[in-house]
C-alpha cells in the first residue's frame, strides 16, 4: 500500500514530450524492470553517464561484485539521451579560468582521459552513435558575449590549446549565419547523437552488472548497516549505494540544499531540403556553444537537421508549445533565409544546478556516495565523476575532486531559492539579450 502511494507520487519520468533523438532510433525491445527483491553488493540509482561510468569502473575494481543499476526511465528516452550531444575533451568554458593553470591542466587531463575511455567504450558497441571529433564553435553576438569569449580565448592561449579566431564573414562562410560578430573554433570536442550514445554506453554490460529500467527509486532508508531502496515492485538491500540521478537527488531527500532541478529545451528540425542546406555554409556537421549561460546551443547534424537548445525553467517543465515558438524564433534570427523550416520535435530535459557551478560529489552519508549537479555539462564529466565514486567507495586513491572542480555551495530553501533563481535569470536575460 505504502509502495503504491510512493509510486503514485513519483514524477521522475514525466517529461511532457518524447525525446526527439530517441524517436529517430529503432525501438528498444530488451528492457527489464526490477520485479524481485535483490541484495547486490552495490546499488546505483540512475543509469546515465554517471551511473554507467560508476558501474563499469566498479566492475573493473571488483569483477565478482553484483552491481544493480536502476533507472526511472528507459535507456535512450530518459534524460541522458535528451541533451545536445557536445562532448568536450577539455574543461568546459564555465569551469575554465586562466588564473590557475596548474589546476586547469589537471582537470583537462582527467577530462581528456575520460573522453578516450568513452570513445573506446562506444567502439565496442554495434550502435552507431554518430560520434565525430568535429570540434566546436563558440560565438558571440553582443558585448556581454564578446567579453566572455575573450576570457575563454585567454584560457585557451594560456593553456596552449589549439584554437582559431573567426570574424563574422568567416563564420558565415563556414556555418551560414551572420548573426554572430565573432567566434572561436576549438578542435577539442566531439559531437554525438545523445540517445544513441547512452544506448551504446549501456550496451554489452558484463553479466555482473544488472540494469533495471522503468524502475524508479521511490525511497531510500537506512536499515542497520544496510541501505533499503524501495522501487514500485521490489526492494533492494545493499551495503553501498551510489546516487547518480543528478537533478532528482533532492526528491529522495538527498542533497536538497545544494542541487536544484532546471529544465532546458531542444528543437530539432525536419531534414532540410537541398535549398536550405545550400544556405548553411561549407561545413556539414557542426556545433556552436553559447558564450553566455542564457544563449542558444546550435547544431547541424550529419543527417542535415538543425538543432537549437535554449530557455530554462526552474523546478517544473514549461509549456512546450510556447517553448517551440520561442526556439523557432531564435533559430530564424540566426537563419532568416530558412523561412519555412519546421521542428520535427521539441522536448525538455533536466540538469542538476548548483549555485556556484561546483558538483556535489563524495560520500554524503556512511556508504552512500553521490555525484550530482552537472550544471548542463555532464556527459564526459559525469562519466569521470561516476568512475571516481567507484574508486572512492572501494578505497582506491582519487584526485581531490572538490579542489579541482569545486564543491557545490549551500542554497537557501524555498521559496527564497526560486525567487533568487528567477531574479538572477531576469537580470542575466537583460544583460545577454543579444545572445538569446
Ligand atoms: C537539453 C539539454 C542539453 C544538454 N546538452 C549537453 C551537452 O551538449 N553536453 C553535455 O556534456 N551535457 C549536456 N547537458 C547536460 C547532460 O545531459 C547532463 O550533464 C548529463 O546527462 C548528466 O549525466 P548524469 O548521468 O549525471 O545524469 P542524468 O543524465 O540526468 O541521468 C540521471 C538518470 O537518473 C534517472 N533517475 C532520476 N530519478 C531517479 C530515481 N528516483 N530512481 C531511478 N532513476 C532515476 C533518470 O531517469 C536518468 O536516466 C544537457 C542537458 C539538457 C537537458
pTM here is 0.96
The answer to whether the CB of 84 is under 6 A from ligand 1 is: yes
The answer to whether the CB of 217 is under 6 A from ligand 1 is: yes
Q: For 288-342, write each residue's pLDDT tens digit.
A: 999 988 899 999 999 999 999 999 999 999 999 999 999 999 999 999 999 899 9
The pLDDT confidence band at residue 86, using thresholds 50, 70 and 90, is: very high
CA of 292 to the centre of ligand 1 (A): 21
The answer to whether the CB of 145 is under 6 A from ligand 1 is: no
CA of 79 to the centre of ligand 1 (A): 4
Q: Which CATH architecture has domain 5-82+196-259+356-421?
A: 3-Layer(bba) Sandwich (3.50)
The answer to whether the CB of 68 is under 6 A from ligand 1 is: no
CA of 80 to the centre of ligand 1 (A): 4
**Residue 248: strand pairing partners:** none
Q: What is the DSSP letter of 64?
A: T
Find the farthest-apart pair of alpha carbons in the chain and give their distance in angstroms, rounded. 67
The pLDDT confidence band at residue 1, using thresholds 50, 70 and 90, is: low
The pLDDT confidence band at residue 217, using thresholds 50, 70 and 90, is: very high
Cα separations (Å) of 367 from 225, 227, 307, 370, 396?
Answer: 9, 9, 41, 10, 14
Give the span between the Cα atoms of 144 and 78, in whole angstroms: 34
Q: Which of 65, 64, 190, 205 is nearest to 121 (CA)?
A: 205
Q: What is the DSSP letter of 95?
A: T
Please report the pLDDT score of residue 99 as a whole number.
76
Q: Which residue's C-alpha comes closest to atom 15 of ligand 1?
A: 376
Please report the pLDDT score of residue 2 as a whole number.
64
CB 142 within 8 A of CB 174: no
Q: Which of 202, 238, 205 is nearest to 220 (CA)?
A: 238
The answer to whether the CB of 290 is under 6 A from ligand 1 is: no
Average pLDDT over residues 346-372: 97
The answer to whether the CB of 236 is under 6 A from ligand 1 is: no
Please report the pLDDT score of residue 386 as a whole number.
98
Query: Could you give the percent of the chain with pLDDT greater than 70?
Result: 96
pLDDT at 8 over 90: no
Give the span between the Cα atoms of 257 and 294, in whole angstroms: 24
The answer to whether the CB of 374 is under 6 A from ligand 1 is: yes
Superfamily classification of domain 132-189+261-354+427-435: D-Amino Acid Oxidase, subunit A, domain 2 (3.30.9.10)
Q: For 286-299, write each residue's pLDDT tens digit.
A: 999 999 888 999 99
Please report the pLDDT score of residue 90 as a whole number.
87
Please report the pLDDT score of residue 235 as a whole number.
98
Structural Rg of the chain based on CA atoms: 21
Alpha helices in 320-376 (DSSP H): 320-334
Domain residue spans of the chain: 5-82+196-259+356-421, 132-189+261-354+427-435
pLDDT at 368 over 80: yes
Q: For 132-159, write each residue's pLDDT tens digit.
A: 999 999 999 999 999 999 999 998 998 8
The answer to whether the CB of 245 is under 6 A from ligand 1 is: yes
Average pLDDT over residues 192-204: 97
Q: Which atom of ligand 1 is nearest to the CA of 252?
A: 41
Q: Which atom of ligand 1 is nearest to the CA of 379?
A: 11
Question: Would you call the peptide bond into 368 cis, given omega within 30 degrees of 0 as the criterion?
Answer: no
Residues in the chain: 436
The answer to whether the CB of 393 is under 6 A from ligand 1 is: no
**Residue 309: strand pairing partners:** 266, 297
Q: Which atom of ligand 1 is nearest to the CA of 347?
A: 1
Please report the pLDDT score of residue 29 as a whole number.
86
Please report the pLDDT score of residue 398 as a whole number.
97
The answer to whether the CB of 95 is under 6 A from ligand 1 is: no
Amino acid at each position: 500500500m505504502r509502495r503504491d502511494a510512493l509510486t503514485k507520487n513519483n514524477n521522475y519520468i514525466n517529461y511532457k514530450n518524447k525525446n526527439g533523438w530517441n524517436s529517430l532510433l529503432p525501438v528498444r525491445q530488451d528492457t527489464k524492470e526490477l520485479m524481485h527483491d535483490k541484495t547486490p553488493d552495490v546499488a546505483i540509482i540512475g543509469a546515465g553517464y554517471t551511473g554507467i561510468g560508476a558501474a563499469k569502473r566498479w566492475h573493473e575494481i571488483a569483477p565478482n561484485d553484483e552491481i544493480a543499476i536502476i533507472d526511472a526511465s528507459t535507456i535512450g528516452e530518459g534524460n541522458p539521451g535528451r541533451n545536445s550531444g557536445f562532448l568536450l575533451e577539455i574543461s568546459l568554458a564555465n569551469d575554465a579560468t586562466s588564473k590557475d593553470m596548474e589546476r586547469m591542466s589537471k582537470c583537462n587531463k582527467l577530462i581528456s582521459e575520460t573522453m578516450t575511455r568513452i570513445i573506446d567504450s562506444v567502439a565496442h558497441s554495434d550502435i552507431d552513435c554518430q560520434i565525430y571529433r568535429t570540434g566546436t564553435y563558440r560565438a558571440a553576438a553582443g558585448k556581454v558575449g564578446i567579453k566572455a569569449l575573450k576570457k575563454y580565448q585567454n584560457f585557451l592561449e594560456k593553456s596552449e590549446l589549439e584554437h582559431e579566431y573567426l570574424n563574422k564573414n568567416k563564420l558565415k562562410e563556414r556555418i551560414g549565419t551572420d548573426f554572430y560578430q565573432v567566434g572561436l573554433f576549438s578542435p577539442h570536442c566531439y559531437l554525438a547523437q545523445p540517445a544513441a550514445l547512452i544506448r551504446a554506453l549501456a550496451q554489452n554490460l558484463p553479466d555482473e552488472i544488472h540494469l533495471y529500467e522503468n524502475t524508479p527509486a521511490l525511497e531510500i532508508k537506512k536499515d542497520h548497516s544496510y541501505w533499503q531502496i524501495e522501487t514500485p515492485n521490489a526492494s533492494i538491500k545493499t551495503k553501498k549505494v551510489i546516487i547518480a540521478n543528478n537533478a532528482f537527488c533532492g526528491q529522495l531527500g538527498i542533497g536538497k540544499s545544494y542541487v536544484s532541478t532546471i529544465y532546458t529545451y531542444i528543437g530539432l528540425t525536419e531534414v532540410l531540403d537541398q535549398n536550405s542546406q545550400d544556405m548553411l555554409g561549407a561545413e556539414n556537421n557542426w556545433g556552436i556553444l553559447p558564450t553566455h549561460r542564457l544563449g542558444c546551443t546550435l547544431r547541424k547534424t550529419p543527417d542535415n537537421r538543425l538543432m537549437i537548445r535554449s530557455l530554462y525553467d526552474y523546478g517544473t517543465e514549461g509549456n512546450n508549445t510556447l517553448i517551440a515558438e520561442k526556439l523557432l524564433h531564435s533559430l530564424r534570427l540566426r537563419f532568416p533565409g530558412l523561412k519555412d523550416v519546421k521542428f520535427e520535435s521539441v522536448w525538455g530535459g533536466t540538469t542538476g544546478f548548483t549555485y556556484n557551478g561546483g558538483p556535489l560529489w563524495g560520500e554524503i552519508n556512511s556508504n552512500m556516495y553521490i555525484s550530482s549537479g552537472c550544471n548542463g555539462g555532464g556527459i564526459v564529466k559525469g562519466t569521470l565523476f561516476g568512475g571516481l565514486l567507484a574508486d572512492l567507495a572501494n578505497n582506491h586513491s582519487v584526485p581531490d575532486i572538490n579542489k579541482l572542480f569545486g564543491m557545490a555551495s549551500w542554497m537557501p530553501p524555498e521559496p527564497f531559492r526560486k525567487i533568487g533563481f528567477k531574479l538572477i535569470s531576469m537580470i542575466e536575460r537583460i544583460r545577454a539579450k543579444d545572445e538569446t
